[in-house]
Amino acid sequence: MWDRHLVSRAWSIAELRRLAKRRLPRGIFDFFDGGAEDELSLNDNIQAFQRLKLIPRPLVDVSSIDLSTLLLGRRSSLPVAIAPTGGPGFGRHGSDVAIARAAVEAGIPYTLSTSATASIERIAREAPGGRLWFQAYILKNREFLAGLLNRALAADYDALMITVDLPVGGKRERDAGNRISFPFQFTARHFRDFAFNVRWLAGMARYGMPMVENLIGMETQATNAGRIASSVGRSYDPSFDWDRLKRMRDEWPRRMIVKGILHPMDADRLTSIGIDAIVVSNHGGRQLDGAIAPIDALPAIVEAVGGRAEVWVDGGVRRGSDIAKACALGANAVMVGRATLFGAFAGLEAGASRALTILTDELERTMQLCGARSIGEIDRGLLHESSVPASAVRRPFKEAR
């Protein structure tokens, strides 16, 4: 009840982040909040949105605003989908389900991660009536991966999202410093950090350490928390290539999304093999540090795709105005991950719903102040041209093979 009261008073995603940070042990918070190496990309993802400047257009009747749009042929109440996030239950038990239910309530799609702490079937059962997508990492165990896709199909997930920017795990130095590995293992070093976070510790004592439910039964290499390289990439297949992606597209009978694209040539090639949507993403700054911010890469990719597939963007979305800026640069939608995670850690479903309410209210207000009455009316004219990035990559450095 107290958590619900706190999150109901949160006025921004930054405030929900503060509440989540206060509730979690430092190492656990850093696992979700952090990025790779010097966190240049992590920070630039947010700053890139801040560099874009809006031009208000007054004297428009903005008494009625339509925030809805079509995503993969179906109506979404917002140009927003929930991004896949690994291990939410390590932050707070029930976070996966809480975010999925909040998405159902908000009328937007929810993407379940391979490495979530709720199973494919559990989300389908506990978030009924929702629009569910399943995100697949490319596992070395191909038979196990095929089983996951069959389970998602049987549970009526209506789209498959393939993440392609994780052939190996990023170098996440906050995790190394905190001796945090994934799946998580307690060590004596963690005792002091955890002992001062009574509510988090009580939850773990009551419910037990969460499991990566979709990966139960898959033999995985034991983690070594002392290694600097992130452990999340240990089970993933670095040999995955265009030919295998094409075979997956041919075999999957429903919509397919590819996440983790920053180069326009790659986006162009994806449309040629029948990919329905492309997520411009640098994995939230958690993989290659120094990679271009997705919002900066977006214009060139939109141009390369030319309407043959939907283009979405993630990374750094913290304000409703960020959603408007992405749409102005040609995105069909944004994906949000950390924003709803912070909300769920602070207040479970009430917190995740609060995060989406904050973004919705800010988007509506931004559109009213800029004279845009619908998502379709948001265009490049909303942005001051001097703040808009030039095409991200105008000349290919090599042909993709």
Residues marked as catalytic: 283
Beta bridge partners of 136: 162
3-state secondary structure of 266: helix
Closest C-alpha to 144, from 34, 245, 219: 219
Contacts of 50 (CB under 8 A, 6+ apart): none
Lookup: tokens for 302: 């939109």
Q: What is 39-72 written as a DSSP string?
A: -HHHHHHHHHHHH--B----SS--SS-B--EEET
Q: Put residue 129 in one of left, alpha, beta given phi > 0 → left and psi -120 to 50 → alpha.
A: left
Residues 25/360, Cβ–Cβ less than 8 Å? no
Residues 398/346, Cβ–Cβ less than 8 Å? no
In one-letter notation, the amino acid at residue 391 is: S
Q: What is 241-256 written as a DSSP string?
A: -HHHHHHHHHH--SEE
Alpha-carbon gap, residue 224 to 227, rounded angstroms: 6
Rg (CA), the chain: 20
Lookup: tokens for 343: 């909300």
3-state secondary structure of 286: coil
Q: What is 343-382 written as a DSSP string?
A: HHHHHHHHHHHHHHHHHHHHHHHHHHHHT--BGGG--GGG
In one-letter notation, the amino acid at residue 379 is: D
Lookup: tokens for 299: 């214009």
Lookup: tokens for 90: 């390590």
User: Given the DSSP bridges, would you call strands 69-71 and 74-76 parallel, antiparallel or unpaired?
Assistant: antiparallel
The answer to whether the Cα torsion of 261, 334, 29, 45 is positive or negative is positive
Alpha-carbon gap, residue 24 to 32, rounded angstroms: 11
